[in-house]
Chains A and B, each alone.
Chain A
Amino acid sequence: MPGFNATRPHFELRRVPAKHQEAEGQAGEVEVYELSDLPAIAPALHLKRRDLLTLAGLSSTALFAAACSRQPDARSDPTPTPTITPRPTFTATPPPQHVLTVQASRPAAECLGLNAAGSKIVAAAFSPDGFLFATVEEKDWVRVWNVSTGGLLRKYRQNNDRGTAVAFSPDRSRLASIADDGKTVFIYNLNDTGTNERETIVTNARGSLVFSPDNSLLAFSAAGKMEVWTAASPPKKTYELGAECFAISPDGRHLALAGSTNQVSLHTLSNGNLERPLAQLKSGVKSFFFNADGSYLAVHCQDKSIQIMRVEDGAVLQSIQLTDGDLSVLAFSPDGRTVLTKRLAYFALWSAQSGIMVSMITPYGFIGTAVPSPDLTVMAEIYEKSINLWNFQGTPKKLGVCFFDKDTMPVGSKALTYQETDAAGITRTYALPCGAPIPSGAACTCNCVPGTGLDLPPPCSCVSDTSGGGGFCSCNKICTCIPVRKYCFVMFKPEDRH
C-alpha cells in the first residue's frame, strides 16, 4: 500500500494532552457519553463516503435543485446535439403535513429480544394515518399495535392459517388479511373489542390487498387476476379483471392496472370499466404507486427501472434505472418528488424529476424487511418475530418503542434476551420471562417495558430487587436480570419455582 500515516490515533492511559483540557475546561465534571449524545460523531467514524450525500440529500433540496439546474440549456450550448424529444414538465405535489410523530425516550436496546409475534411476521402495514400498525404471522395471529407506545391493541386468530398480507381501511374501522395461503380473506371489525367476529371471503387471493379510500371496496390480487369486493357485511364480489398488478388512485375514482401484455391501463374503480389505456411498457410491471394527488404513477418494472408516468396522458416523464440486485420499490415520497427504494442494507431516494439518486440512507443495523409509514417519517423494520421502528427524519435512528406481547413469552422461555458468544463459543443469556422468580443468589434489577392487553403509557414502574433474589416481577412487566456478581446465572432447580 502507499505510504501511511505513522501517527498513532490513540494513547495508553495517561492524562489527556493539555490542548484537549483547554477545549473541554479542566475543571469540568466527569461525564460518560452515549453515542446518541454525539450525533456528529457517527458519520465521521463510519467513514462512509455516501454519508455526505445522505446528509445533503435528506436535509435539504439542494441536490434536487442542483440536478434540475444541470439539465442542458440549448441556447447556451452551441454544440450540435442529437435530436431529443423534450420531456414534459414534471410538477411535484406540495408536501402534506406530517401526521405521525413517534417519540421514545427509552433506549432502543431495551427492546432487544422482545417478541412481538409468536411466529415469523410475514406481512405488516401502517394505518393510513400512521398511528396503527398491523402484523400477520406465519401461524395463527393478526395483531394490531399502537405505533406510539408499542402496545398491543387487538389480536385475532386465523385458524392456524398462514397469513400473507394485511391492510387497514382508511377510516381504521376494519382490517383485512389474507390467510390460508391465499384461500381466504378475513375482514375484522376493529371497533369490536371482544367478539373476534369477522367477514370471510373464500377465494385465491395473494399479494396486494387494499381498501378503497372511501372504505367501501376491498381489492386484492388473485391468481392471474385482481378482484374487487364490497367491504360491507356480507362482502360481495363486484368484479374481477385479468391482471394481478394494480393501484387505486388517492381520490378513489381510478384503478391503474398492468397485465401480462405490459399494457398499463386506467379503469373506473367502482365498476372496473376501462377508461383508457395509459402506456405500453417494454417490460412487465412489478408494482405501482400513485403520488399524493394521483396525477403521477411510479411504475416499478421487471427490467429494473422505475417509470414516472403522468396519469393524464400516460406520458413517461422520467425513467429511473435502478442498479442490479434484489431491489424493492417502497413508495412515492409524500411530496411526489422522490421515489424510495431499498436494496440490502440501504435505502435510496431517486429524483422523479431527473432520475438520479439524490440520497442514500444507510440506517446502521437495519437488517429486516422495511415497511414505511405513509408520510415516510418512520420506517418499521420487520425481522422474524420482532418489530423495530426507525426515525427516518434526518439521520436514521432506531426508536426505543418496544412492540411486545407477553403471550409470546410464556414462563419457561427466555424473554428479554441479550446474548453474546465469546471466542470460546460460550453464550450467556441475561433475561427472565415475565412472572418468573428471580433466582436465588442473583442480584437483579427490574427493567420494565410496556406490557400487553392494557395500553399503558410508559414508563411503567417496577420496584427493583436488590436483596439477592427471591423477588418477582409482576405481570405486565418484564424483568431483565443483570448479573452483578459471579454465579448470578447458576439457575434454580425446577422444583424451586413457586
Chain B
Amino acid sequence: MNPPPIQTDVFIIPILETFLVYAPLRRVAFFTNPAGVNLLERLRHGPIEPETTEQDEFLRFCAEIKLTGSEGDFPITTFDVAEYLPNEVTLFLTTRCNLRCVYCYADGGETPERTMTLETAKRGIDFVCQSARARGLERFGVGYHGGGEPTQNWRVLTESFAYAKELAKANGMEVYGSMATNGVLTPAKRAWIIENFAGVNLSVDGCPTVQDAQRPTPGGKGSSRAVLETMRAFDAAGFPYGVRLTVTAQSVDRLPESVAYLLEHGHPKRMQVEPVYTLGRGKAGGLAVDSQGFVEAYLEAKQIAAPTGVDFYYSAARLDVLTNRFCQSCGEGFSLTPSGLVSSCYEVPDDTVEYAERFLLGNFDEQAGQYRIDGEKLARLRDYRVEQIAWCQDCFCKWHCGGDCMYKSQHSLQEGVFAGDPRCEVTRALTLDLILERIRQSGGKVWAGNLEQASPADEPQYSLEN
C-alpha cells in the first residue's frame, strides 16, 4: 500500500472565507479554499487520482513546495546532550534591588535580603567549566540575573567573573559573560561591564513617562535618565546590548511611542517585548494587559522598529525555531540562588517563590564536594515537552513555542493539566503575523521555506565567486 502523500503536521487556520494551510516542519504556508483543504485531507489518508485539471495542478504544486512526500521535515531541536552537563551558569547574586518595579516577578527589594557568597559563585563556575570540558566544548558561560539587581552585589559579580576568566585561561577555554540589569549603574560599573561582558540585556520600558511610572526607585523617583545614560555609554563604546520592555495595561497604548523613543535614543541589537507576567508584584490588580491590546500595540511597534534593523521579538513567537521545549528550564538550566540552590529557571531565583520546589533541582554537597541533583525532578522537567502537553497537540505554534514557559504554565494548570493561558493568544497572533510576513516576502502566494534551506552537508563546494 502506498504511503499517504502528506506525512507531516498540517494545520488549517480559517481566515475570513479562506484557509491558511501551514506545515511548520516543512516551512510551508499558503492560502486555499475549502476544496483545497478537503483535497489535502484526502492526501493525509492516501494517494489520490486527480479528477480535474485544477486538482492535478494543485497536487503538483503541493509536491513542488514539498508539502507532500516522505522527506522534507526540518529537524526539531531538543537537548544537546542526554546527560545533565550544563555549560552555562546563571548566578542570582542578590535579592537586593535599587528599583521597585511595579510588576517585579521576584518582589525585588521587598523580600528578606539574601546575597550570594563568592564561594558559591565559584563552585557554580567550576561546575559548568568541568561540564563544558566533558562535552568537548571550548567555552562556557557565566550569566548574572535577578531576582534582585545583580550589580547590587558588585564585589561578588566582579570577583566571580575574574575567577571565571582565570579558570578558562587555565583550561585553555573561553568564557563569555552576560547579565540582565535594570541599567541604573554608576559610570564605573558601566565601564567594567563594557570591558568584561559579551553583552547585556537592559530592562527598560520605554519613554520616560512609562519608565518612571513602572520602574521607579525605592524613593519613588524616575529611573529613565539613568538608564538612558547607560544606553548612551554602551552605544558610545559599541557595546552590544538588548532591551526588554514589559507591557502593562497602563503602558500598552504607549508601546509604539516607547519603542520609537528607545530606538531614537539608543542602538540596541535586540528588542524583546513581553506582556507583564502576573507573578510577584505583577499579580496586583490592573497591571495585566489584555491579549488583543498587546498584539495590536506590538504589531504597530514592530513596524516602527523594522527600518532600524533591530531584532524585534516576543519570546514565544519564533518562526525560525523548531523545538519541543520553550527554554532550558526544562532540564538543562543551571542557575544558582543566593543560597546556592540549583534552579533550572530564571523565574525561580530562590526558594520562596511559588512552585519553587518543582524547579529547584539540588544543592552543593559539602562533604562530597559536588552538586547533588535530584534525578527524579530532572526527569520530570525534561519530560515537559510539547509532545506531552495535550493542550498543544493541535496548535500550529507548538513546534515554535515548544509549549511556552514552563514556569508560567504552572499558574494556568487546571487539575494539574495545562489548559492554555492568555499568552497562547498572543503567541498565535504573532506567529500568524510572522507566517504572513514570510508569504509576503516570498511573493505573496506561498512560503516554501524548505526550498530555501539545505543541510550543512549540502553546502556547495564551489561558489560563483570561485
Chain A residues in the interface with B (C-beta under 8 A):
1-6, 8-16, 20-21, 23-24, 26, 28-38, 40-42, 44-50, 107-110, 323-326, 343-346, 362, 364-368, 412-414, 418-420, 422-424, 426, 428, 430, 432-433, 436, 482-484, 486-487, 489-494
Contact = CB atoms under 8 A, between A and B. Distances in A.
Contacts of B38: 15-16, 21
A345 B31 contact: no
B444 A35 contact: yes
Given A48-B296, A420-B452, 20 more contacts: A2-B288, A5-B291, A9-B13, A10-B428, A12-B12, A12-B394, A16-B12, A24-B35, A28-B33, A30-B33, A31-B33, A33-B33, A35-B436, A38-B16, A324-B260, A344-B260, A365-B306, A426-B453, A492-B462, A494-B466
Interface stretch (B125-133, B181-189, B219-227, B415-423): B415-423
B138 interface: no
B280 interface: no
15 contacts: A1-B289, A11-B12, A29-B55, A31-B32, A35-B31, A47-B296, A108-B443, A325-B260, A325-B264, A365-B441, A422-B449, A423-B320, A423-B322, A428-B452, A430-B452
A1 B422 contact: yes
A408 B302 CA distance: 33
Nearest to B54: A29
Given A344-B304, A492-B462, A32 B445 contact: yes
Interface of B: 6, 9-19, 30-41, 44, 52, 54-55, 57-58, 61, 64, 74, 77, 257, 260-261, 263-264, 275-276, 278, 288-292, 294-296, 299-300, 303-308, 320-322, 393-396, 419-425, 428-429, 432-433, 436, 439-446, 449, 451-456, 458-466
A31 to B, nearest CB: 5
A432 B295 contact: no
What 5 A-B pairs come out closest when comparing CB atoms? Answer: A109-B443, A1-B422, A420-B452, A4-B422, A13-B10
A24 B307 contact: no
Contacts of A492: 462
B288 A12 contact: no
A382 to B, nearest CB: 12
Contacts of B54: 29-31
B264 A13 contact: no
Contacts, number: 251
Contacts of B449: 420, 422
Contacts of B260: 324-325, 343-344
B290 A1 contact: yes
A1 B278 contact: yes
Nearest to B424: A4
A32 B58 contact: yes
Contact of A13 (B41, B278, B442): B41
Main secondary structure of the interface of A (DSSP, over half): loop
Contact of B304 (A37, A346, A414, A418): A346
Contact of A34 (B6, B14, B444): B444
A4 B35 contact: no
Contacts of A1: 275-276, 278, 288-291, 294, 421-423
A35 B462 contact: no
Contact of A32 (B61, B300, B436): B61
Contact of A412 (B61, B299, B420, B465): B465
Contacts of B19: 16, 20
A380 to B, nearest CB: 16
A109 B10 CA distance: 26
A2 B285 CA distance: 10
B111 to A, nearest CB: 24
Contacts of A424: 456
A8 B275 contact: no
A35 B394 CA distance: 25
B33 A344 contact: no
Contacts of A423: 77, 320-322
A225 B17 CA distance: 61
A156 B156 CA distance: 64
Contacts of A29: 35, 52, 54-55
A362 B303 contact: yes
A9 B466 CA distance: 50
A49 B297 CA distance: 8
A497 B191 CA distance: 55
A13 B11 contact: yes
Nearest to B323: A423
Contact of B31 (A15, A33, A49, A426): A33
Nearest to B438: A420
B34 A20 contact: yes
A162 to B, nearest CB: 23
Given A2-B288, A362-B303, A423-B321, A24 B464 contact: no
Nearest to B263: A344
